[in-house]
């Protein structure tokens, strides 16, 4: 018996391997199509307008969804975005190892939030949206550990807004984690699956 209805086609508007892995693990049949938007400019404008990070993350998720939905109007398009916030400061993906090291030093010993937005679009209309805000506290790790961590992880840390992958060695960085693991990885799966059941995409 299929868990998922044959229609609508499900599309993830993202190139994120973590988000693809989460949908795969849930047994969903979907296409993954990256949506190219100027995220830096949108975030900069949102910060200048003093918009809450929740609004900015939802806007980014919507713009990604709309880019794909314009080509595939009959599909149910999932857009997602994540913004790391620590004591009011927004963090972006580091550009290189030095940037990752500097970012992790700024987060060391402090709590931060991962504002994780997901939005579904169908027929040009937003049919559902959700924001999860896991909280994570980094331990006061040594510089020696930081160097060893970056040596092991390599360029993989550049794909994460926090310069860490909780599904890998990034778990060593933390003292406390509050929130859904999937939301930390970039897609609040519990809420998303609840919507998909209500929408008739997967069996209730």
Phi–psi pair at 183, nearest 5 degrees: -65, -35
Q: Which of 55, 74, 81, 143 is catalytic?
A: 81
Q: For the chain, give the secondary structure using H, E and C.
A: CCCECCCCCEEECCCCHHHHHHHHHCCCCCEECCCCCCHHHHHHHHHHCCCCHHHHHHHHHHHHHHHHHCCCCCCEEEEEEEEEEECCEEECCCCCHHHHHHHHHHHCCCEEEEEEEEEEEECCEEEEEEEECCEEEECCCCHHHHHHHHHHHHHHHHHCCCCCCCCCHHHHHEEEEECCHHHHHCCCHHHHHHHHHHCCCECC
What is the number of other CB atoms lying within 10 angstroms of the CB of residue 156? Answer: 17
Q: Does the active-site annotation cover 81?
A: yes
Which residues participate in catalysis according to the annotation? 81
């Amino acid at each position: 018996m299929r868990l998922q209805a044959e229609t609508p086609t499900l599309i993830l508007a993202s190139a994120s391997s973590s988000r693809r892995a989460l949908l795969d693990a849930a047994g969903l049949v979907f296409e993954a199509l990256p949506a190219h938007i100027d995220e830096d400019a949108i975030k900069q404008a949102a910060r200048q307008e003093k918009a809450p990070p929740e609004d900015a993350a939802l806007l980014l998720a919507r713009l990604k969804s709309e880019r794909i939905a314009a080509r595939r109007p009959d599909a149910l398009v999932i857009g997602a975005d994540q913004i790391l916030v620590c004591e009011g400061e927004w963090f972006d993906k580091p550009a290189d190892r030095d940037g990752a090291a500097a970012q992790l030093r700024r987060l060391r010993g402090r709590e931060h939030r991962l504002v994780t937005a997901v939005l579904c679009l169908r027929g040009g209309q937003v049919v559902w949206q959700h924001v999860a805000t896991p909280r994570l506290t980094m331990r006061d790790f040594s510089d020696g550990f930081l160097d060893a961590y970056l040596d092991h992880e390599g360029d993989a840390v550049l794909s994460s807004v926090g310069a860490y992958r909780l599904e890998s060695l990034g778990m060593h960085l933390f003292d406390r984690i509050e929130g859904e693991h999937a939301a930390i990885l970039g897609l609040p799966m519990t809420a998303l699956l609840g919507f998909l059941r209500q929408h008739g995409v997967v069996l209730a």
